[in-house]
Amino acid sequence: MDMLRTAVIGVGYMGRFHALKLASCDGVQLAAVVDVDPARAREVALEVGCAAQTDYRILLGQLDAAAVAVPTELHHEVVRGCLEAGVNVLVEKPLARSVAEADELLELARAGGLVLQVGHLERFNPAFRALAADRARPLFIDIERLAPFKPRGTDVNVVLDLMIHDLDLVLALARAPVEHVSACGFHVLTDVIDIANARIEFANGCVASVSASRVSQAPVRKLRVIRAHEYVSADLQGHRLRTVRKTGSGISESERSFERVDALRQQAEAFVRAIRQRDAPAVGGDEGRRALELALKVSELVQARLARFAP
């Protein structure tokens, strides 16, 4: 394929950024942006220089790839339509609403030989990449993701909105089956879970504590990993990595800072590269499924605990 004909379906807050990044990728022609709000579709189309549509289905026979950034409840319907039409898909997290929906999408992608990539953007953070490059087994992982309240994203609870990013990172670092999960959480400003904590135990002995809040005063994205004779702290927001290690002569400390990267552009480029090279995507549908399954389990445990201790 000379030019990869693409579209972005859903051009709200995140979809607009997807359109900007895809439009700037080499070898990519952004054919159209799609939104049920015609004024919004026209606004973004004018900004990126492409056509505007309100129904993605009329484009399917004309596309090689699509980025899907519609509300979560529409992920399955839209991604399925694209895959059935032979269109490679990059979909915002979470992959779907249920594991059953995710499994159907994975099977469609496999059957069609198509790329299905999930937008777990934190995988492109240079501090995380440097941390994950060391394959030594983690003993304990502690992650905090705190954010001020924003009405955007409240169609799902904080586990599926924010924590799922870090559940994906934990699964990527632990590299072992989950054996046990416990969790708690609370409603604060919405009718769904706004703050949550999960404890995850893995078959290889690794334990993770994951906290997420969307009602905090200041944003925090911290990741700490304890390995044998080593402690590593990653500031995912500041792109810094600090390591404290036991050595033969005592304790050594080091700190690395990383240049800020355009993670969304890197994600778009990885998607395009996977299609062109017919290779596995950076964060494939199977990884998106695992993160979704764990997020749904955490949500279920939080809801059960809330029901048990309801006032």
Is residue 192 predicted with pLDDT exceeding 80? yes
Is residue 118 predicted with pLDDT exceeding 60? yes
Is residue 153 predicted with pLDDT exceeding 80? no
Is residue 55 predicted with pLDDT exceeding 90? yes
pLDDT on residue 208: 98
SS3 128: helix
pLDDT on residue 151: 73
SS3 assignment for 265-306: HHHHHHHHHHHHHCCCCCCEHHHHHHHHHHHHHHHHHHHHHH
pTM: 0.93
CA distance 244 to 199: 24
Please state the length of the chain. Answer: 311
For range 209-216, the mean pLDDT: 95
Give the architecture-level CATH label for domain 4-114. Answer: 3-Layer(aba) Sandwich (3.40)
What are the residues whose beta carbons fall under 8 Å from the beta carbon of 93, sequence distance 6 or more?
A: 118, 119, 120, 164, 165, 168, 288, 291, 292
Confidence of residue 154 (pLDDT cuts 50, 70, 90): low
Is residue 156 predicted with pLDDT exceeding 90? no
Is residue 152 predicted with pLDDT exceeding 80? no
Give me the residue spans of the domains in the chain.
4-114, 122-259+295-308
Q: Which CATH class is domain 122-259+295-308?
A: alpha beta
Tokens 């700037």 belong to residue: 24
- Are 116 and 83 contacting, i.e. CB atoms less than 8 angstroms apart? yes
For range 169-188, the mean pLDDT: 96
Give the count of beta carbons closer than 10 Å to the beta carbon of residue 253: 9
**Which DSSP letter does residue 95 get?**
S
Give the count of beta carbons closer than 10 Å to the beta carbon of residue 7: 28
| Domains 4-114 and 122-259+295-308 belong to one CATH topology | no
Is residue 258 predicted with pLDDT exceeding 90? yes
Whole-number mean pLDDT of the chain? 95
Sheet order of strands, 220-227 included: 178-186, 195-202, 207-213, 140-146, 220-227, 230-235, 240-247, 250-257
CA distance 212 to 222: 11
Is residue 155 predicted with pLDDT exceeding 80? no
Least confident of 12-16, 149-153, 271-275: 149-153
Is residue 217 predicted with pLDDT exceeding 90? no
Tens-digit pLDDT profile for residues 81-113:
999 999 999 999 999 999 999 999 999 999 999
